[in-house]
Structure 1
Amino acid sequence: MATWDLSQTSHHVLICNGGSCSRKDADAVTLAIREEITAHGADDRIHTTRTQCNGRCEDACVVTVYPQGVWYKEITPDIGKAIVREHLIGAIR
């Protein structure tokens, strides 16, 4: 049984909230990315998931975008918003 309709989803953003990333403001990064997605009315096309350790602690805070499989490192809330605008919104318009 489906609990979430992802049929319109074109991107899945995995935001690490493991120990090292949490020490580098992962919660603020997560909130900034989600707020930017909502501000662009793209909640139905871009899905986000908080993850635990993605194994790249030295690159904290790590964000991964699928289906492209692009990994971003050292993400701040401002950089997270820019990723939404430049990588995600531009790709779905």
Structure 2
Amino acid sequence: MGKDLTKVDKVILMCSGYTCTKKGSEEHILALRACIKDNALEDKVHTIKTLCMGQCESGPTLQVYPEGIWYKEMTIERAKSVITSHVMKGQLLDNILFKEGDAVMHPAEDLSSKTKK
């Protein structure tokens, strides 16, 4: 039997596309998952490895739901911080957060207005 997803509070999408993998995403994903396990969050946090998330220039990237928060330039320590700060304490990691005006990321508000045509 698989994981009971009805208990999940957070879903983390982690890029494992070609460019992010070349930049170490597999190691970051393993560290993130180990941190989830070490903090007994397996029931509350579900992780999904994706193919390319389209943000190669700022990769490796990950996204936390339900907030829809994007993080860039992942390292092993940053991946662990996503769990210990964002997930456990509700604190955003401003230094690696995609923000409006970043060269690559486009805010969701801008994208939604373009798709309604």
TM-score calculated relative to the size of structure 2: 0.74
CA distance in 1, matches of 2:23, 2:8: 28
Which structure is higher in RCO with an 8 Å CA cutoff and minimum separation 6? 1
Structure 1 residue ranges without an equivalent (≥5):
none
Q: Segments of 4+ in structure 1 off by > 6 A?
A: none
Which aligned pairs between 1:1-93 and structure 2 lie closer than 5 A?
3-91=2-90
Q: CA RMSD in A?
A: 1.2
TM (norm. structure 1) is 0.92
Deviation at 1:56, TM superposition (A): 0.5
Specify the structure having the higher radius of gyration (Cα): 2
Deviation, 1:4, is 3.4
Q: CA deviation at 1:89?
A: 1.5
Structure that is richer in strand per residue: 1
Distance 2:55 2:8 in 1: 26
Report deviation, 1:37.
0.4
The size of the alignment, in residue pairs, is 90
Looking at structure 2, the residues matched to 82 and 72 of structure 1 have their Cα atoms a distance apart, in angstroms, of 11
Q: CA deviation at 1:3?
A: 4.5
